[in-house]
Structure 1
C-alpha cells in the first residue's frame, strides 16, 4: 500500500486554544522521533484560532499502528479530549498514475 497520510483536524472549545499548546507540543515532539514517521507537522488555522491540523506521513500501516499504540499518543488523546469541540481524522494513500 505504501505511505499512509493522516490529516487530523481538531477544533478546540472557545477560549481554550492556548491551553492545548503544551499537549500538542508534547505529541508533536515525540512523534517526530518514531521509526516510520516520515513527517509530523502541526498547523493552526488562519481563519479560526481554535482549529488545528496535524498532517502526518507514515512509512506504512505498521508505522501508523506503532504511533497509535505509543504511550505519548495515548496520553495525548486522553488529555486533549477535555478541550475538543470536534475531531475529524482522515487517512489517505497517494494516488499514482
Structure 2
C-alpha cells in the first residue's frame, strides 16, 4: 500500500504515539467472529448487543463506567455487515490518572460519535481495575480511521491530553470480511 507524504502534525502525532508504547497489528476477522467478539465485549461491559443508545455515563463502584456508541438504532449486525476496519485498543493509566482520563474521554466521545466514518464507538473502563480502558471502534475503512486520527478533537483530547497520562497503550486492527 502506498502512503502519501506525512505532514509535520502527523510526524508529531506519531512521535507521541511511539512514546506511549503503541502496539498495532492487523488481522483478518470474519463477520461471525467480529460479532462474537463484540458480543463478548458487550457482555463484559453489561450492555445489550441488540441496539445501541446515545452516549451516557454512569457511576459504577465509585468509578465511572462508560458505555458509549456511535450508533442510535442500528443493530450490531447492520454495522458489521457492511464491512469496515475494527480497532480494539487497551489503555492503562499511570498511577492516579484514571479519573482524569475518564474526564478527557467524556469530552472526546461526543466528537468521535459525530465522525461520519465511525460506524461504532464503544469505550469501557475496567470494573476491577479503573486504570484500564478498552476501546472498540468500527470505521468504514482505513481512510475513515486516518481522518479520525487527524481530526482536531483527536489531537486535542487524545494526543495532547490523554496519551501523556498513560502507562501502557496497545492497539490491534481487524478487517471485517
Q: Give the TM-score normalised by the residue count of structure 1.
A: 0.89
Shift of 1:8: 1.1
- Corresponding residue to 2:175 among 81, 93, 96: 93
CA radius of gyration, larger in? 2
Q: Which structure's relative contact order is higher, taking Cα pairs within 8 Å and 6+ residues apart?
A: 1
Tell me how far apart the structure 1 counterparts of residues 144 and 163 of structure 2 sit (CA, whole Å): 23
Q: Identify unmatched segments of 5+ residues in structure 1.
A: none
Tell me how far apart the structure 2 counterparts of residues 43 and 24 of structure 1 sit (CA, whole Å): 10
1:18 partner SS: helix
- Corresponding residue to 1:41 among 122, 133, 139: 122
**Cα displacement string for residues 51-75 of structure 1 (whole angstroms, at most 9, x for unaligned residues):** 0011100011111111011001111
**Cα displacement string for residues 69-94 of structure 1 (whole angstroms, at most 9, x for unaligned residues):** 10011112111122100000111112
Tell me how far apart the structure 2 counterparts of residues 73 and 81 of structure 1 sit (CA, whole Å): 11
- Corresponding residue to 1:31 among 104, 107, 112: 112
Which aligned segments of 4 or more residues in structure 1 are displaced greater than 6 angstroms? Answer: none
2:92 partner SS: strand
Computed over aligned residues only, the root mean square deviation of the Cα atoms, in angstroms, reads: 1.5
Q: Greater strand percent: which structure? A: 1
> Which residue of 1 is the match for residue 40 of structure 2?
none
Q: Identify unmatched segments of 5+ residues in structure 2.
A: 1-82
**Cα displacement string for residues 14-69 of structure 1 (whole angstroms, at most 9, x for unaligned residues):** 22111112211122111100111001111012231100011100011111111011
